[in-house]
Amino acid sequence: MMNKKLMLGNEAVARGAYEAGVTVAVAYPGTPSTEITEFIAEYDEIYAEWGPNEKVAMEVAIGSAIAGARTLVSMKHVGLNVAADPLFTVSYTGINGGLVIMVADDPGMHSSQNEQDSRYYAKAAHIPMLEPSDSQETKEFVKKAFEISEQYDTPVMVRLTTRVSHSQSIVALEERENINLREYQKDFMKNVMMPGMARLKHVVVEKRMKDIAAASNTMIMNTIEIKSTKIGVITSGVPYQYVKESLPEASILKLGIVHPLPRKLIEDFAKKVEVLYIIEELEPIIEDEVKSWGIDCIGKDILTVQGEYSANLISERIGEQDLHLSQPKSLPQRPPVMCPGCPHRGVYYILNKLKKHASGDIGCYTLGALPPLQGMDTCVCMGASISMLHGMEKARGKEFVKDWVAVIGDSTFVHSGITGLVDIVYNKGASTVMILDNSTTGMTGHQDNPATGLTLKGEATSVLNLVELTKSVGIKRVRVVNPFNLKEVEEAVKEETAALEPSVIIASAACELLDKKRVRIPFFIDEAVCKKCGMCMKLGCPAIQKKDGNYQINDAICSGCTLCSSVCKFGAISKVGENHDN
Amino acid sequence: MTINNILVVGVGGQGTLITSRILGNLAMSLGHDVKLSEVHGMAQRGGSVVTHIRYGEKVYSPLVEIGQADIIVSFEKLEALRWKHFLREDGIMLVNTQEIDPMPVIIGTSTYPEDIILKLEEECKNVISIDALSRAKELGNIKVANTVLLGLLAKNMSIPKENWIEIIKTTVPEKTIEINVAAFESGYTA
């Protein structure tokens, strides 16, 4: 009997890599791609590591592939921006051992700062791209991607979206293929991309893409289901599933390869149906190309380029059904919040108290931008907090940035904050940078990074010393504070922002969720002492609530972090079991 | 071809994901095709979360659509109101009476709606509420509140009780089997 397992799309990628004989896997965490590499790390047969950022991860993967190993590198859509430089040129060099690049898009922006469509990268970099629609296909397509990679000497991209990465469906498990390392031979005409070689390789790239385009017409990842010829749909990825639910009578061409497109297959399908719809989330990439061939089709005229699709949406827009869907009530929203006990909370409380602006960055601490802390003015991309603050200083002068700090997490600082700090020193800036060091990559679910002392495989390793690092780039004013000691944080922020030279404050305390076994003794508010001044509420702690006019601490979620008791001027908040008879 | 559509909703951190995965694996072990759609990343940090579970002979979409859910299990009262429109007309709303104030309520820019259970009863045909947190506290560990809710869900589904208990035993840490089974019973007999 075949062994089957309910798997996340991301776990299916890992399984596919395992079965394809991959021996090296690299990534930087990013929702919704993170679990791919965590699952891969569970296989002893595969070496897996977190790179400090996606560019490094991509380069490690290219090196590994050129050295002859089947290699998988994974990232989220915006991570591909960081890795775009090597991406465009590995398209020219080609590979040796197969190289598959997993990229996870996030339509609807469940956990992202933009909604870019990675298929544009495949087109722009002249790299073939596959797109699966569930976990079983994901596993199969990853294996297929390695075959195409080695057959055509090209990296191959596989595009996932949140609903593939983070949906579970049943996967049939197969044996691992034993793939030997391919022999490495020095070949500078292939692997050294200087203008003379690159001009020759560009010719090879164009021919390769033409060959793959021709072959794509018969690739088994593309499937045709002919039913009624009144409606034909070309789709790929998870929208295929919505089409199957909403248009059961439609004929469907499901594309497994989304770049290059199988032109003949599409042309033949288009001829068979009366009305042709292209159903793709985000950008009209298939649609634009199909229209450029002179084929009539309907797509973004009636479907949006924003957010996720659904079976209901397709039923209404194409099935012309009026579903009379009831709408959600207008209710208090429940945005994500910093957890009770989060070490970032105290830092934002102080920034708020001192009326400091913050140039922000990507991580859990981005949540400090929301009320009531509202401690962030800007947030663009990984690492931008530091360089953007420097730009502000150069635009408006040192006096202006005395009211500002940059806030960046430890993992994000290592990812792409260091170069910004070098820039501040080099170009004589005076900005203050706060590194919120919670000893983990928090938002993506606690991955280790160079500053934590552990590898992805859980082995002890050298710890990147953030104090020594920031000093070594030329920052003279570096200090470490405990973010639960509000007085210490306040003094540091006041002094460092006032200084006329660049400074770094490292607020160091581990993420509350890291140590699950720690005994947490909750705090409580003594109603007899409480003056109802509301100071504790300014922390924005989800454990403190106002019920029937009284402030209360929810003991089911209080972590006992002490912050609320240290902001209470009346001593009304204390640990359960302390300063009290019961 | 009947597809079972279940929505598990709550607040990030309440354990909705584990409950959903237990149900997903149970459905698979009974020979069904199964799809689950989960929420990871930013939304897990105390935000409103939802897991979709669909099983039957052949499941395409991983998402339960508006008006399609046979059962909604809400780990928090306000979240039941938020996701109510996903329930089909004669679907069942199972709601934990626990209240967790969202940040707009905490900072006073919004108020926590009153009489949620009454409002649910006005608009849904079948509403069953339970104080899972108190039941878990009585059993000695507030963390098993989600298993109490699982018991209530099991009671309202057609899968035999033994199958549920079996999957709980293979899913939870060994030391907590006893309390989890007790929590399941508490919800099942509520």
Instruction: Place A579 in a pLDDT band, splitting at 50, 70 and 90.
Output: low
Would you call B100 an interface residue with chain A, using a CB distance cutoff of 8 Å?
yes
Would you call B37 an interface residue with chain A, using a CB distance cutoff of 8 Å?
yes
Contact A551, A514 (CB under 8 A): no
Q: Determine the residue of chain B that is closest to A513 in CA distance.
A: B13
Neighbours of B109 (CB within 10 A): 12
Angle, alpha carbons A99-A112-A506 (nearest 5°):
95
Q: Given this model, what pLDDT does residue A125 score? A: 98
Q: Return the higher-pLDDT residue of A557 and A16.
A: A16
Q: Given this model, what pLDDT does residue A582 score? A: 40
ipTM given for this complex: 0.95
Would you call B112 an interface residue with chain A, using a CB distance cutoff of 8 Å?
yes
Q: Given this model, what pLDDT does residue A78 score? A: 98
Would you call B118 an interface residue with chain A, using a CB distance cutoff of 8 Å?
no
Q: Return the higher-pLDDT residue of A330 and B83.
A: B83
Does the residue B10 lie in any domain?
yes
Size of interface A-B (CB pairs under 8 A): 182
Q: Do B34 and A32 touch (CB under 8 A)?
A: no
Instruction: Place A171 in a pLDDT band, splitting at 50, 70 and 90.
Output: very high
Give residue-wise pLDDT tens across range A147-157: 999 999 999 99
Would you call B185 an interface residue with chain A, using a CB distance cutoff of 8 Å?
no
- The shortest C-alpha distance from B185 to chain A (Å) reads 22
Give residue-wise pLDDT tens across range A359-377: 999 999 999 999 999 999 9
Phi/psi of residue A442, nearest 5 degrees: -75, -55
Q: Is the pLDDT of residue A499 over 60?
A: yes
Parts of chain B with a pLDDT under 70: 1, 42-43
Average pLDDT over residues A338-353: 96
Q: Which domains does chain A have, with CATH numbers?
A: 4-216 (3.40.50.970), 223-317 (3.40.50.920), 344-508 (3.40.50.970), 523-575 (3.30.70.20)
> pLDDT averaged over chain A?
96
3-class secondary-structure state, position A559: coil
d(CA A164, CA A104): 9
- The shortest C-alpha distance from B19 to chain A (Å) reads 14
Give the closest of B34, B47, B109 to A170, CB-based. B34
Would you call B57 an interface residue with chain A, using a CB distance cutoff of 8 Å?
no
A-chain residues near B81 (CB < 8 A)? 329, 331
Q: Given this model, what pLDDT does residue B105 score? A: 92
Q: Given this model, what pLDDT does residue A329 score? A: 75
d(CA A478, CA A476): 6
Reference A242, options A291, A281, A299, A272; nearest CA is A281
d(CA A528, CA A551): 11
- The shortest C-alpha distance from B188 to chain A (Å) reads 23
Instruction: Place A493 in a pLDDT band, splitting at 50, 70 and 90.
Output: very high
Phi/psi of residue A225, nearest 5 degrees: -120, 110
DSSP code, position A447: B
Structural domain span for residue B111: 3-133
- Euclidean distance between the first and the last CA atom of chain A, given in angstroms as a whole number: 61
Does the residue B150 lie in any domain?
no
Would you call B29 an interface residue with chain A, using a CB distance cutoff of 8 Å?
no
Does the residue B183 lie in any domain?
no
B-chain residues near A323 (CB < 8 A)? 66-67
Total domains, chain B: 1
- The shortest C-alpha distance from B190 to chain A (Å) reads 22
* CATH number of the structural domain spanning residue B45: 3.40.920.10
Give residue-wise pLDDT tens across range A60-83: 999 999 999 999 999 999 999 999
C-alpha distances in angstroms, A227 versus A222, A251, A252, A278, A287?
16, 5, 8, 17, 22
Q: Do B21 and A242 touch (CB under 8 A)?
A: no
Q: Do B12 and A336 touch (CB under 8 A)?
A: yes
d(CA A80, CA A74): 9
Reference A81, options A378, A379, A381; nearest CA is A381
Neighbours of A49 (CB within 10 A): 18
C-alpha distances in angstroms, A151 versus A129, A180, A198, B165?
15, 16, 21, 50
d(CA B143, CA A80): 39
B-chain residues near A326 (CB < 8 A)? 66-67, 85
- The shortest C-alpha distance from A325 to chain B (Å) reads 7
Q: Given this model, what pLDDT does residue A387 score? A: 98
Does the residue B142 lie in any domain?
no
Q: Given this model, what pLDDT does residue B42 score? A: 67
- Up-side HSE of residue B47: CA atoms within 13 Å toward CB? 18
Instruction: For residue B3, list its beta bridge partners.
Output: B56
- The shortest C-alpha distance from A258 to chain B (Å) reads 20
Q: Which alpha helices (DSSP H) does A362-477 contain, by range?
A: 384-396, 398-401, 410-412, 418-426, 466-472
Q: Given this model, what pLDDT does residue A555 score? A: 87
Would you call B59 an interface residue with chain A, using a CB distance cutoff of 8 Å?
yes
Report which residue type is found at A320. Answer: E
Does the residue B144 lie in any domain?
no
Q: Do B47 and A328 touch (CB under 8 A)?
A: no
Give the closest of A168, A542, A556 to B36, CB-based. A168
Would you call B18 an interface residue with chain A, using a CB distance cutoff of 8 Å?
no
Helix (H) or strand (E) segment spanning residue B151:
helix B145-155
Q: Is the pLDDT of residue A330 over 90?
A: no
Q: Determine the residue of chain B that is closest to A168 in CA distance.
A: B36
Residue in the structure block whose two tokens are 């997993």: A102
Does the residue B52 lie in any domain?
yes
Does the residue B140 lie in any domain?
no
Phi/psi of residue A507, nearest 5 degrees: -90, 110
Q: Is the pLDDT of residue A581 over 70?
A: no
Average pLDDT over residues A538-563: 92
Give the closest of A35, A241, A339 to B62, CB-based. A241
Q: Is the pLDDT of residue A15 over 80?
A: yes
Give residue-wise pLDDT tens across range A215-265: 999 999 999 999 999 999 999 999 999 999 999 999 999 999 999 999 999
Give residue-wise pLDDT tens across range B147-186: 999 999 999 999 999 999 999 999 899 999 999 999 999 9
Does the residue B147 lie in any domain?
no
Average pLDDT over residues A555-572: 94
Work out the burial of residue A386: count CB atoms within 10 Å of its CB; fewer than 13 is exposed, 13-18 middle, 19 or more buried.
buried
Average pLDDT over residues A555-568: 94
